[in-house]
């Protein structure tokens, strides 16, 4: 249609200029992402249309409202002038779906805004606001009122002016005094951050081509690189992740009730507990413009928490400087700190984040139930405790729900929303809306120990520790998983989070410490293999980064640079001697498969139990809360690319070698999916006789 319209306009002498706009206040979100996997649309090329726009003999002005993303922005780059609404956003996000701007964008953008800014936009895929676009020279004008009228005004003004200087393909790429050195440094940075993710590196190469070749040759290079990415499994994984993230917003209860209309504008929210999590939660709420009261148990904790929150908010305010939105956190109507429980009367929603202790949580929920107004929703940030038991301490279990944030809560996007036996649909809807307002990804899951994310994480960490017992080292295991794409491996992660957290939980479960029955075997608990290694480290005061020693050593307590620790190596070999374990060489494949396949196996068990609605939910949880590499699409998608028969065969092999490790025993659901012929991921749930009874 664009092509037809342009040709008509060119042929009609009464037409003096052309304005291109979108419908309903949006310019364009780019290509239809679903189209990339459909052979029908592969033949359609946008590049030649962009060239056609640029070569028009009549001025073409883009009127950008809402978004101009991907192919949409490339269309705008073909226009001779660009007018944007002040609230519009622009970007070339192709890299985030595993591609590069394939309609000549990598060649035009550097010619317009220079190599550093273009490289930044293209390799990160970030959306920039119109104000920034104006500063960069990406748009010619921004307006507060009617963009289309402003674009028409501009078009009328420029009729008759020479178009040559406005055709980006004819412009040289602006020179940098040190282009060579700049590009080298930029490439190193892109590679370091990409960790096996192809698209940023190929985006870089396409922009580099713009600096080295004439426009037409640069376009050819862009096309070649685009084809490489298009046929890579990584692009498919990222596009799957894009739609999976949107699919988790569509949830329904068994009766099909779906309520998502709760508005948070005037809600007063209470955050209870201002420790590590409370601080991040309060920061996120203020950022989301939700009035909040933060409550602590005494003035000492309150002042400590307030200070930490203020530091976080100052930092956030700095990041937002120059933008349209301001953080309003000095206003007591927006943020209050208190130790006065009487303020609970007025709040609409409470998020509890006190110590992880069932008796304390029950005591608090009982109090909340007595004090809060009848409609108030009571949320708990517990990471593993039973939501139903917490709800049983209240007279309104239908209004109790788990809202499991991830640390640091003002950064991590995931919010696991845990539905108890009595939780009402409107409570779920409210929590989902809260996630949306906080710009987080809410995923509704059922209630079980560890919920979804942590429950899948337990076998992964367990395998990592077993591998140490058998002969590996923390740095070897971490390296394999970091090469796979995780930002940090399990041991670095455990040092960061603090080994004492798990130790406390294991003591609570009677797996170690004074409550462990006398005469228990060192490496067995309840008939299953158990590794006391993490407990032994804790007993020696090695809690990780906070104490300067854990699975690694650090420069000081609180230090962040992990160095392999010879003490650990000696300790491990002594441990193996004590327990008569023969040290063996463990290769990378075994490390990867045992850690990942045990996690995936747990995922199948979760699906079969109806704790999550589908594999996409598990993948969204892992992509947004656990640093699973995006270009691998999440654990369940990854399993589908490896092939379920292979996952099953490997689990069977490892399970036979370690019969006392139940988490390696293949789940019945996985076996069933293999038996029906390696069903594709989209069909998995149709092989369960009862779907999501808990949702
Ligand atoms: C002709 C082929 C020739 C190819 C030549 C190469 C051209 C290229 O260089 C390649 C490209 O353009 S690739 C596409 C680049 N564009 C993007 O990545 C934008 C992705 N979308 C967004 O960021 C947000 O949805 C956005 C900011 C737009 C809106 O966010 P919201 O939070 O308001 O809404 P969402 O819930 O995200 O989205 C609403 C519904 O729209 C669907 N959707 C959005 N963008 C889409 C897109 N580009 N393709 C297909 N579906 C898309 C989205 O899935 C959601 O659907 P439902 O969940 O069913 O409602
Ligand atoms: N730290 C983490 O990475 C994550 C923790 N969680 C969960 O979040 C909750 C809080 O954890 P953290 O913030 O790490 O703990 P924390 O120990 O840093 O903070 C807990 C805070 O609760 C306050 N508190 C205790 N009793 C109180 C009472 N009666 N009234 C008001 N405040 C009270 C304490 O003074 C303390 O400031 C726990 O349930 C934990 O399992 C969930 C996700 C991640």
Instruction: Give residue-wise pLDDT tens across range 80-89.
Output: 999 999 999 9
Of the ranges 363-377, 456-470, 594-608, 662-676, which one carries the lowest mean pLDDT score? 363-377
Ligand 1: residues with CB < 6 A are 29-35, 41, 44, 46, 67, 69-71, 74, 93-94, 97, 101-103, 243, 246
Could you give the residue range(s) of every CATH 1.10.1040.10 domain in the chain?
472-578, 589-687
Q: How far is the CA of 592 from the centre of ligand 2 (A)?
A: 33
- With cut-offs at 50, 70 and 90, classify the pLDDT of residue 262: very low
- With cut-offs at 50, 70 and 90, classify the pLDDT of residue 535: very high
Identify the residue whose C-alpha is closest to ligand 1 atom 37: 246
Q: What is the pLDDT of residue 261?
A: 42
- Ligand 1 atom at minimum distance from 42 CA: 2
**Which bound ligand lies closest to the C-alpha atom of 92?**
1
- Asked if omega into 159 is within 30° of 0 (cis), the reply is no
Instruction: Sort strands 128-129 and 89-91 into parallel, antiparallel or unpaired.
Output: antiparallel
Identify the residue whose C-alpha is closest to ligand 1 atom 35: 246
CATH 3.40.50.720 fits 269-451, yes or no: yes
Question: Looking at residues 227-256, what average pLDDT do you find?
Answer: 85
Could you give the residue range(s) of every CATH 3.90.226.10 domain in the chain?
2-231
Q: Is the predicted pLDDT of residue 50 greater than 80, yes or no?
A: yes
Q: Is the predicted pLDDT of residue 264 greater than 60, yes or no?
A: no
SS3 666: coil
Q: How far is the CA of 168 from the centre of ligand 1 (A)?
A: 26
Q: What is the pLDDT of residue 254?
A: 42
Q: How far is the CA of 279 from the centre of ligand 2 (A)?
A: 10
Identify the residue whose C-alpha is closest to ligand 1 atom 38: 246
- With cut-offs at 50, 70 and 90, classify the pLDDT of residue 328: confident
Question: Looking at residues 21-37, what average pLDDT do you find?
Answer: 90
> Residue 382 phi/psi, 5° resolution?
-55, 145
Identify the residue whose C-alpha is closest to ligand 2 atom 10: 353
Q: What is the pLDDT of residue 263?
A: 46
**Which bound ligand lies closest to the C-alpha atom of 359?**
2
Q: What is the pLDDT of residue 352?
A: 94
Q: Please list the active-site residues.
A: 74, 94
- Ligand 1 atom at minimum distance from 247 CA: 58
Cα 45 from Cα 593, distance rounded (Å): 41
Q: What is the pLDDT of residue 480?
A: 98
For ligand 2, whether the C-beta of 355 sits within 6 Å is yes
| Residues 6 or more apart in contact with residue 675 via CB below 8 angstroms | none
Q: What is the pLDDT of residue 273?
A: 82
Residue 439 neighbours by CB distance under 10 Å: 10
Q: What is the pLDDT of residue 459?
A: 98
Q: What is the pLDDT of residue 324?
A: 64
Q: What is the pLDDT of residue 351?
A: 94
Q: How far is the CA of 347 from the centre of ligand 2 (A)?
A: 20
The answer to whether the CB of 234 falls within 8 A of the CB of 631 is: yes
Identify the residue whose C-alpha is closest to ligand 2 atom 19: 275
Question: Looking at residues 151-170, what average pLDDT do you find?
Answer: 97
Q: How far is the CA of 622 from the centre of ligand 1 (A)?
A: 22
Question: Looking at residues 88-100, what average pLDDT do you find?
Answer: 97
> Minimal CA–CA distance to 276: which of 498, 487, 542?
498
Count of all residues that appear for the chain in the document: 695
**Which bound ligand lies closest to the C-alpha atom of 229?**
1
Q: What is the pLDDT of residue 683?
A: 96
**Which bound ligand lies closest to the C-alpha atom of 408?**
2
CATH number of this structure's domain 472-578: 1.10.1040.10
Q: How far is the CA of 293 from the centre of ligand 2 (A)?
A: 16
| Mutation test residue for ligand 1: of 22, 29, 70, 93, the one with most atoms within 8 Å of CB | 29
Q: What is the pLDDT of residue 509?
A: 87
The answer to whether the CB of 487 falls within 8 A of the CB of 627 is: yes
Question: Looking at residues 674-687, what average pLDDT do you find?
Answer: 94
Q: What is the pLDDT of residue 413?
A: 96
Measured at the CA of 694, the angle between CA 693 and CA 695, to 5 degrees, comes to 95
Cα 414 from Cα 440, distance rounded (Å): 6
Q: What is the pLDDT of residue 256?
A: 46
Question: Looking at residues 522-547, what average pLDDT do you find?
Answer: 96
Q: pLDDT per residue over 465-499, tens digit each?
A: 999 999 999 999 999 999 999 999 999 999 998 99
| Residues 6 or more apart in contact with residue 74 via CB below 8 angstroms | 30, 46, 47, 50, 92, 101, 103, 104, 105, 108
For ligand 2, whether the C-beta of 272 sits within 6 Å is yes
Question: Looking at residues 28-48, what average pLDDT do you find?
Answer: 77
Q: What is the pLDDT of residue 323?
A: 67
Q: Is the predicted pLDDT of residue 693 greater than 50, yes or no?
A: no
Mean pLDDT (the chain) is: 93
Q: How far is the CA of 355 from the centre of ligand 2 (A)?
A: 4
Identify the residue whose C-alpha is closest to ligand 1 atom 18: 93
Q: How far is the CA of 475 from the centre of ligand 1 (A)?
A: 40
Of the ranges 14-23, 150-159, 507-516, 666-675, which one carries the lowest mean pLDDT score? 507-516
Q: Identify the helix (H) or strand (E) that includes residue 269.
A: strand 269-272
Q: How far is the CA of 498 from the centre of ligand 2 (A)?
A: 14
- With cut-offs at 50, 70 and 90, classify the pLDDT of residue 37: low
Give percent above pLDDT 70 in the chain. 95
Cα 340 from Cα 65, distance rounded (Å): 47
- Ligand 1 atom at minimum distance from 45 CA: 3
For ligand 2, whether the C-beta of 381 sits within 6 Å is yes
For ligand 2, whether the C-beta of 277 sits within 6 Å is yes
Question: Looking at residues 595-602, what average pLDDT do you find?
Answer: 98
SS3 219: helix
Could you give the residue range(s) of every CATH 3.40.50.720 domain in the chain?
269-451
**Which bound ligand lies closest to the C-alpha atom of 505?**
2
For ligand 2, whether the C-beta of 383 sits within 6 Å is yes
| Mutation test residue for ligand 2: of 272, 275, 503, the one with most atoms within 8 Å of CB | 275
Instruction: Supply the pTM of this predicted model.
Output: 0.92
680 or 256, greater pLDDT: 680
254 or 407, greater pLDDT: 407
- Ligand 2 atom at minimum distance from 305 CA: 37
Q: What is the pLDDT of residue 577?
A: 97
Label residues 357-385 b or e (16+ Cβ within 10 Å = b). Answer: eeeebbebbeebbeebeeebbbbbbbbbb
Q: How far is the CA of 385 from the centre of ligand 2 (A)?
A: 13
Q: How far is the CA of 404 from the centre of ligand 2 (A)?
A: 12
CATH 3.30.70.120 fits 2-231, yes or no: no
**Which bound ligand lies closest to the C-alpha atom of 3?**
1
Q: Specify the fold of 589-687.
A: 1.10.1040
- Ligand 2 atom at minimum distance from 278 CA: 13
Question: Looking at residues 683-692, what average pLDDT do you find?
Answer: 80
For ligand 2, whether the C-beta of 275 sits within 6 Å is yes
| Mutation test residue for ligand 1: of 1, 30, 66, 260, the one with most atoms within 8 Å of CB | 30
Identify the residue whose C-alpha is closest to ligand 1 atom 60: 246
């Amino acid at each position: 249609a664009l092509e037809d319209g342009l040709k008509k306009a060119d042929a009609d002498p009464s037409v003096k200029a052309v304005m291109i706009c979108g419908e309903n206040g949006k310019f364009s979100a780019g290509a239809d992402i679903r189209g990339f996997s459909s052979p029908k649309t592969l033949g359609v090329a946008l590049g030649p249309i962009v060239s056609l726009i640029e070569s028009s003999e009549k001025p073409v002005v883009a009127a950008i409202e809402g978004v101009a993303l991907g192919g949409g922005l490339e269309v705008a780059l073909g226009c001779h002038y660009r007018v944007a609404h002040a609230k519009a956003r622009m970007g070339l996000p192709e890299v985030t779906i595993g591609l590069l701007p394939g309609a000549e964008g990598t060649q035009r953008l550097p010619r317009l805004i220079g190599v550093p800014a273009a490289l930044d936009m293209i390799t990160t895929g970030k959306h920039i606001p119109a104000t920034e676009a104006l500063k960069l020279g990406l748009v010619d004008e921004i307006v507060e009122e009617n963009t289309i009228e402003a674009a028409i005004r501009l078009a009328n003004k420029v009729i008759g002016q020479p178009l040559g200087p406005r055709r980006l393909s004819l412009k040289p790429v602006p020179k940098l005094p040190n282009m060579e050195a700049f590009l080298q440094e930029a490439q190193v940075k892109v590679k370091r951050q990409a960790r096996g993710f192809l698209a940023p590196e190929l985006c870089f190469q396409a922009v580099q081509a713009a600096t080295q070749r004439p426009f037409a040759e640069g376009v050819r290079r862009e096309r070649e690189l685009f084809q490489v990415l298009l046929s890579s499994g990584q692009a498919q994984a990222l596009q799957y992740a894009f739609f999976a993230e949107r699919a988790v917003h569509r949830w329904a209860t068994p009766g099909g009730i779906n309520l998502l209309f709760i508005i948070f504008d005037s809600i007063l929210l209470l955050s209870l507990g201002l420790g590590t999590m409370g601080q991040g939660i309060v920061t996120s709420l203020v950022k989301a413009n939700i009035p909040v009261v933060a409550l602590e148990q005494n003035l000492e904790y309150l002042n400590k928490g307030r200070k930490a929150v203020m530091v976080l908010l100052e930092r956030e305010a700095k990041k937002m400087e120059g933008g349209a939105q301001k953080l309003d956190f000095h206003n007591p109507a927006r943020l209050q700190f208190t130790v006065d429980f009487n303020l609970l009367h007025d709040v609409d929603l409470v998020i509890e984040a006190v110590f992880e202790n069932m008796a304390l949580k029950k005591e608090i929920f009982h109090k909340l139930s007595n004090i809060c107004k009848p409609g108030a929703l009571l949320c708990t940030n517990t990471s593993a405790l039973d939501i139903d038991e917490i709800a049983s301490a209240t007279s309104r279990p239908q209004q109790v729900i788990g809202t499991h944030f991830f640390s640091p809560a003002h950064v991590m996007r995931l919010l696991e929303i845990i539905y108890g036996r009595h939780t009402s649909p409107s409570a779920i809807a409210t929590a989902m809306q809260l996630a949306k307002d906080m710009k987080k990804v809410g995923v509704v899951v059922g209630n079980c120990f560890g919920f979804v994310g942590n429950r899948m994480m337990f076998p992964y960490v367990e395998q990592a520790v077993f591998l140490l017992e058998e002969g590996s080292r923390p740095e070897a295991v971490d390296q394999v998983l970091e090469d796979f794409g995780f930002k940090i491996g399990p041991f670095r992660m455990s040092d960061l989070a603090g080994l004492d957290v798990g130790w406390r939980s294991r003591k609570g479960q009677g797996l170690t410490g004074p409550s462990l029955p006398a005469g228990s075997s060192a490496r067995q608990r309840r008939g299953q293999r158990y590794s006391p290694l993490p407990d032994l480290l804790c007993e020696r005061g090695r809690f990780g980064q906070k104490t300067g020693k854990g699975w690694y050593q650090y420069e000081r307590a609180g230090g962040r640079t992990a160095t392999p620790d010879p003490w650990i190596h000696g300790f491990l070999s002594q441990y193996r001697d004590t327990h008569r374990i023969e040290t063996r060489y463990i290769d990378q494949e075994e490390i990867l498969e045992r850690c990942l396949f045990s996690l995936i196996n747990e995922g199948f068990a979760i699906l079969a139990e109806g704790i999550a609605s589908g594999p996409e939910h598990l993948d969204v949880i892992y992509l947004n809360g656990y640093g699973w590499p995006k270009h691998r699409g999440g654990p369940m998608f990854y399993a589908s690319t490896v092939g379920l028969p292979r996952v099953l065969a490997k689990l069977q092999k490892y399970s036979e070698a370690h019969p006392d490790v139940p988490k390696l025993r293949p789940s019945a659901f996985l076996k069933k999916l293999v038996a029906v012929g390696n069903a594709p991921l989209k069909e998995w749930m149709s092989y369960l006789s009862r779907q999501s009874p808990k949702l």
